[in-house]
Structure 1
Amino acid sequence: MSSDATPEPYADPLKFGQRAQILRERRGMTRTQLADLVGISPHTLKKIENGQQQAPGLEMVMRIAEALRVRDLADLTGHPDMHVDLFIGPGHPRLAAVKAAIDCFPLSATTEPPRVPHLRARLHAAWKARHQAPDHREVIGRLLPDLIRDAQALAGHSDSAAERRVAQALLAQTYSLSQFFIAYQPESSLLWRVAERGMIAAQESEDPHQIGVAAWLLAQAHRDSGPGQFEAADAVNLRAVRFLEPLLPDADDDVLAIAGALEFELGYTAARRRETGTAWQHWDMANTMAARLPADYYHPITSFSQAVMGAHAVTVAVELRQGGESVRQAARADEVTIPSRPRRARHRIEEARGYQLDGQPDVAIATLEKAYRAAPETIRYNGYARRIVLEETESKQAARRRRASALAVQIGMLAV
């Protein structure tokens, strides 16, 4: 290896600070940006990186891991016994079959395509199951391989322009469902392939709703790749918002809802940057769009609705590190039940983050237990939840430590 090559985080005798600096630079983050994200001064972070200050305690280690989106805690600590996946969950048993279906493009017209109403009904049932099942990844992972193959076959057999548009819309919807299954699993390249194929299919369909959904998911793929991709996420969201804007005066509920979901995503990314005013401004705009929807309406993919705006407010407050505000927003949001089990579990995780920020770790663990009851497969793959649980397994309070350890066993982070 050349002398000027970037060292690997695993190479000895790298210390914690050196590993943190390498991983920070690979993310394209400045020292000031990382320091702001974890709540210390750039000077303190510099001393940690330079080894002038001893490695921080577990709570700060976890904050740094969260900010750097470290997949494996051992990458940051250098301890081989700390192989804990944080933001990439365990590979689901059905991941290989889903990947095989995505990777296998039919190159001939030998496969008999399904009828459009039949495929549409199967997709509707799959989305319904995704929202209602606590083991939602298992359920849709079982359905996806056949759905993917049939949607690809239908797209390949379409003759007229109208038939092709319909088939591409169903293929885009299938890829959207696939992205929900693949997210936070150890297949980053597969996630990107699905997100990009979904956008291509949506554009081919010329369906504004499918284009909006594909943009919503593609922007999330960018944002979840780290701060270096925030601008790309914003660019995708903004293009989609501007594309849909002329349609909104006469839009149906689904198009209006996906436009609102995209508007909130702009606020979410702004909150991740700590841009308080911008974040809440986009939340307000999304809330205005939600108010135009029927009170009992829920978007079939994003769950965007009047009810979910309370959950979105919690997320914004948490990302802005406003612990007290996030707890206040959580109290308001709890007045409304979110029908989707995975979305409800995700909301509980965001609430737990708020309680943790507000110095209420016992309530945070209790809230994560609610998330587990709502949808175990959501908390099992969520890096924020895993961080809180792992941190509290080291608590000095015996009761809290036991409760966190029991939850860690349930979600597969610790062996019995």
Structure 2
Amino acid sequence: MSITDVAPEPIAFGERLRILRTRRGMSRPVLAGLLGRSPSWLKQVERGEIHTPPLPMILRIAEVLRVRDLSDLTGDQSMPTALFIGPGHPRLPEVRAAVDAFPLARADGQAPDAAHLRARLDRAWAARHSAPNHREVLGSLLPGLIRDAQLAVRQADAAPERRTAQAVLAEVYSLSQFFLAYQPDSALLWRVAERGMVAAQESEDPHALGMVAWLTAEAHRDSGHYDGADAVTMECLRHLGPELPDADDHVRAIAGALQVAAGYTAARRGDTGAAWGWWDKADRIAQSLPDGYYHPVTSFSRAVMGAHAVTFAVELNAGGESVRQAARADARCIPSRPRRARHRIEEARGYQLDGQPDTALATLEKAHENAPETIRYNGYARRIILEETEAKSPERRRRASDLAVKVGVLTA
């Protein structure tokens, strides 16, 4: 629901900002700190005592408050600009139809056995990590996987067989969330997340439970529901705790990923101590995993901890620390193309925070070369590119405009 939906009269920028900040449960000091400004400056903006900030600051406010459409903040309905919602993928209707269809009888065909579904799912995860346009790959595979996994649950007779099928279905729904994220159908994303949680609970499988909890926490955080993200994360960590001493690598990795998720939410809130405390805990798990291990869902591994450190520093608005962490992290060690591109985007955020816009733009160009769909659906990248199209440097404006056309922020 946008602000326009609840008030017929035009609302000034400052009042829109105050409403959006309040909805996010964010105090003035916290928001001001994340913007690098003083609480008194923010108070003056909200009261309309000073002019509306320039575009770069508006874009940063939109980023911090997770404003999906810039018009909700500016009030200019003539030029809506989606930041944290990318374009609808051509295969979205096929995936939606598969999610909404519910096989109920054996007449729908014989379901593949669990081993066959697991092999297909493993291939889908491998394709997701290796493809430059992973949504296209997932969109072609998901309809069949969803239908067959649903059917396997329906046709399972014995309780152990049904729990195994539920674990596979939970993971299929998790894979679906990577396709649906940042597409213009948030209701479908939440429907898939909830079905994944139910399937994981029915499976009683610790890895399946951790996997869907991690994704549900991500969805809550991306929607600005930090309390919801924390509730899911902490509950699952408490559940997994007693099993960790004897757990396999996948379960320990999912626990590490949940600790990163807790730190990410703390960083989003501006809580420096808690954020880095969770990072340290997660890093201890990462270092205990075998060299070369890489979790197929969360990307949790030794290699990705440096990337997480960059993200934490960026979320804490620490430009210099972001750049230092970026210098330590080695993107080449991240085997997943979309995760590597996302790391490049986080590096770009850090460089821009540190006052290095040319390097930030060059880093986004690398991200686009590596995985075009990742940057196309990433709100942070879209914000930086859009901001740089207004740069004073003609050369930077040109490069930003060229990239904006490629990612769909601007038309040619």
The two structures share one fold, judged by TM-score above 0.5: yes
- Matched positions, count: 409
Q: CA deviation at 1:115?
A: 2.3
The letter for the 2-side match of 1:178 is S
d(CA) in 2 for partners of 1:328 and 1:92?
36
Counterpart in 2 of 1:339?
335
Q: CA deviation at 1:120?
A: 1.3
Any conservation in 2 of the 1:257–1:290 contact (CA below 8 Å)? yes
The letter for the 2-side match of 1:347 is H
Counterpart in 2 of 1:130?
128
Q: CA deviation at 1:10?
A: 8.4
d(CA) in 1 for partners of 2:329 and 2:315?
17
The letter for the 1-side match of 2:47 is N
Instruction: Give the SS at the match of 1:307.
Output: helix
Q: 2:137 matched to 1:142?
A: no
Q: CA deviation at 1:391?
A: 0.2
The letter for the 2-side match of 1:249 is P
Structure 1 residues not aligned, in runs of 5+: 1-5
1:9 to 1:74, Cα distance in 2 relative to 1, 3 A: farther
Q: 2:247 matched to 1:215?
A: no
Counterpart in 2 of 1:115?
113
Instruction: Give the SS at the match of 2:51.
Output: coil
Counterpart in 2 of 1:258?
254
Q: CA deviation at 1:118?
A: 1.7
Instruction: Map Cα deviations across residues 197-223 of structure 1 (whole Å, 9 max, x no partner).
Output: 111111111111111101100111111
1:335 to 1:142, Cα distance in 2 relative to 1, 3 A: closer
Q: CA deviation at 1:191?
A: 1.1
Match of 1:197 among 195, 198, 211: 195
Counterpart in 1 of 2:284?
288
Any conservation in 1 of the 2:270–2:315 contact (CA below 8 Å)? yes
Q: CA deviation at 1:225?
A: 1.1
Counterpart in 2 of 1:3?
none
Counterpart in 2 of 1:49?
46
Counterpart in 1 of 2:84?
87
1:362 to 1:10, Cα distance in 2 relative to 1, 3 A: farther
Q: CA deviation at 1:67?
A: 1.8
Match of 2:265 among 264, 269, 289: 269
Any conservation in 1 of the 2:30–2:270 contact (CA below 8 Å)? no
Counterpart in 1 of 2:157?
159
d(CA) in 1 for partners of 2:405 and 2:37?
32
Any conservation in 2 of the 1:353–1:364 contact (CA below 8 Å)? yes
Counterpart in 1 of 2:166?
168
TM-score normalized by structure 2? 0.96
Any conservation in 2 of the 1:308–1:338 contact (CA below 8 Å)? yes
Instruction: Give the SS at the match of 2:294.
Output: coil
d(CA) in 2 for partners of 1:348 and 1:392?
17
Q: Which runs of 4+ in 1 moved over 3 A?
A: 6-13, 25-33
Any conservation in 2 of the 1:9–1:76 contact (CA below 8 Å)? no
Q: CA deviation at 1:111?
A: 1.3
1:131 to 1:39, Cα distance in 2 relative to 1, 3 A: same
Instruction: Give the SS at the match of 2:90.
Output: coil
Any conservation in 1 of the 2:257–2:298 contact (CA below 8 Å)? yes
TM-score normalized by structure 1? 0.95
Any conservation in 2 of the 1:9–1:22 contact (CA below 8 Å)? no
Structure 2 residues not aligned, in runs of 5+: none
Q: CA deviation at 1:240?
A: 1.2
Instruction: Map Cα deviations across residues 135-192 of structure 1 (whole Å, 9 max, x no partner).
Output: 0001001111111111101100000001101110110010000011111111111111
Counterpart in 2 of 1:186?
184
Instruction: Give the SS at the match of 1:214.
Output: helix
1:335 to 1:378, Cα distance in 2 relative to 1, 3 A: closer
1:10 to 1:83, Cα distance in 2 relative to 1, 3 A: farther
Any conservation in 2 of the 1:178–1:194 contact (CA below 8 Å)? yes
Q: CA deviation at 1:81?
A: 4.3
Any conservation in 1 of the 2:385–2:404 contact (CA below 8 Å)? yes
Matches within 5 A, 1:12-91: 13-91=10-88
Match of 1:385 among 374, 381, 385: 381
Instruction: Map Cα deviations across residues 308-362 of structure 1 (whole Å, 9 max, x no partner).
Output: 0100110111111111111111111027520000100110010000001000000
Q: 2:301 matched to 1:305?
A: yes
Instruction: Give the SS at the match of 1:407.
Output: helix
Q: CA deviation at 1:40?
A: 2.3
d(CA) in 2 for partners of 1:22 and 1:373?
38
Q: CA deviation at 1:247?
A: 1.6
1:214 to 1:7, Cα distance in 2 relative to 1, 3 A: closer
Match of 1:364 among 360, 382, 385: 360
Instruction: Map Cα deviations across residues 40-92 of structure 1 (whole Å, 9 max, x no partner).
Output: 22322222222221110011101111122111112222224432110111111
Instruction: Give the SS at the match of 1:395.
Output: coil
Instruction: Give the SS at the match of 2:302.
Output: coil
Matches within 5 A, 1:311-326: 311-326=307-322
Q: CA deviation at 1:8?
A: 4.1
Any conservation in 2 of the 1:98–1:145 contact (CA below 8 Å)? yes
d(CA) in 1 for partners of 2:208 and 2:328?
32
d(CA) in 1 for partners of 2:4 and 2:380?
28
Any conservation in 1 of the 2:313–2:322 contact (CA below 8 Å)? yes
1:199 to 1:86, Cα distance in 2 relative to 1, 3 A: same
d(CA) in 1 for partners of 2:365 and 2:78?
26
